[in-house]
A and B are shown apart, each in its own frame.
Chain A
Amino acid sequence: MLWRFRREVIFFLMLLSSYFVEKNSLKRNFSDSDTKPVKENLINYEEIIQENKRLRELLELKEKKLIPNFKVAEVIAVKPHIFPAEIFINKGKKDGILENNIVFTKDIFLIGRVEEVNDSYSKVISIFNKKTKISVIISSTREVGIIEGGYAPFLLMKYIPYDSKVKIGDEVYTSGFSEYYHSGLKIGKIVKISRDKNSLFLNILVKPYIYSYSFKEVIIAK
């Protein structure tokens, strides 16, 4: 009897195992991070050199006082792995991370904000996430619009009047009118401008600077 349903039995057993592995992976990921440097040291020197280089750049950022108070976190998981909408970092409550802290790259390109804080790790929602809505300003025309996620690999900018002089290649920054994001954070460049029939507004696609960013370390600031 059991042999007849072996396919179903194996399927459910494996599915159950996958579910438990997934459930525990974040916690395991974090507990492994203490021993990780030793393991990596034995295995991959190139990776250590690259990491060192990235951390040096972050240190420069602190020395130049471009951002007065920030924390650096390591990315432990991304979801999905292309244009990630959720990023998990190895810093949490006990490291002083708070909900709605802003997350960006070492070049001060906006990644997103902290949505959920646990003791030892946090969840960040990126600008690619459908939930993201940010008030932004266009560098050339100083017009204010709203940027929305959910259109990966681009972001959709709304509420720019159809007679605007905006052009392809213009930069987009945060305006400071959002609840969570302060002004002047670089988001991306405009790549496409179109208009729906009878609409008073333009549909603008913005290519974010984090388009090809490899998520390894991120900066978190208030």
Chain B
Amino acid sequence: MPNKKLFVILEQVLIISIFQYIFYNFFHFKIIPSFYLTYLLILSFDGNVEISLFLSFVLGLIHDIFTKEILGFTSIRYLVIVYFSSFFMVKSIKSRCGLIFLFSFLYFVMLSFLKINESFWDGKTILKYSILFSFYNFLIGIAIEIIVREIKKKWREKIF
């Protein structure tokens, strides 16, 4: 049933949003992992490229509302990353997590090149925070992968 896929994605987005919201509001870390980015990458690795691109726009806007950044700024970054990640169709969790690390790194580095002026931070700082951000995303990538699979499994068992 085509509607089933929509429900699966909606439930996944909802759960991921709850996690992202909790992290933004209750954890006062300087670097907060991006559940949205990790989820979009997983979605794209699964072959749902069109949905992933559309969600990049929507989730980017939600992210900007959470973080008070200029609306649309994160959407652009999500879109670019998801577009390039869509050329990789990987199935194993190991390779997926590796790619999540790589694309998270690129996403963070892109932050310093998409600015209006010259880069805000020096290279060493960008590198330090990029690695930290990518590592966090790598870890939550495993968790999201499990959540996504569980939701899919649950919906597969449901009979309409």
Contact = CB atoms under 8 A, between A and B. Distances in A.
Interface of A: 6-7, 10-11, 14-15, 17-23, 25-26, 28-29, 75-83, 85-86, 88, 128-131, 149-153, 212, 215
Contacts of A153: 30
B76 A7 contact: no
B73 A151 contact: no
Nearest to A21: B72
Contact of A14 (B30, B57, B69, B71): B57
Contacts of A83: 30, 120-121
A123 B63 CA distance: 22
A15 B77 CA distance: 9
A132 to B, nearest CB: 10
Nearest to A14: B57
B41 interface: no
Interface of B: 28, 30-31, 49-50, 53-54, 56-57, 60-61, 64, 67-73, 75-76, 79-80, 83, 86, 111, 115-122, 125, 129
A81 B67 contact: yes
B105 to A, nearest CB: 16
A197 to B, nearest CB: 18
B79 A25 contact: no
A10 B53 contact: yes
A21 to B, nearest CB: 4
B73 A79 contact: yes
Nearest 5 A-B pairs (CB), nearest first? A22-B72, A21-B72, A25-B71, A85-B120, A18-B75
Contacts, number: 108
Contact of B73 (A14, A22, A82, A152): A22
Contacts of B53: 7, 10-11, 14
B85 to A, nearest CB: 11
Contact of A21 (B67, B75, B120): B75
16 contacts: A7-B49, A7-B53, A14-B53, A14-B75, A17-B75, A18-B72, A22-B75, A77-B70, A79-B73, A85-B121, A88-B70, A130-B121, A131-B117, A150-B121, A151-B122, A152-B125
Nearest to A6: B50
A10 B50 CA distance: 7
Nearest to A22: B72
A77 B68 contact: yes
A76 B65 CA distance: 11
A152 B61 CA distance: 26
Nearest to B87: A7
Contacts of B73: 22, 79
Contact of A19 (B64, B67, B76, B122): B76
B50 A7 contact: yes
A85 B49 CA distance: 34
B107 to A, nearest CB: 12
A25 B76 contact: no
Nearest to A150: B122
Contacts of A215: 68
A25 B72 contact: yes
A25 to B, nearest CB: 4
Contacts of B121: 83, 85, 128, 130, 150-152
Given A80-B120, A152-B120, A22 B71 contact: yes
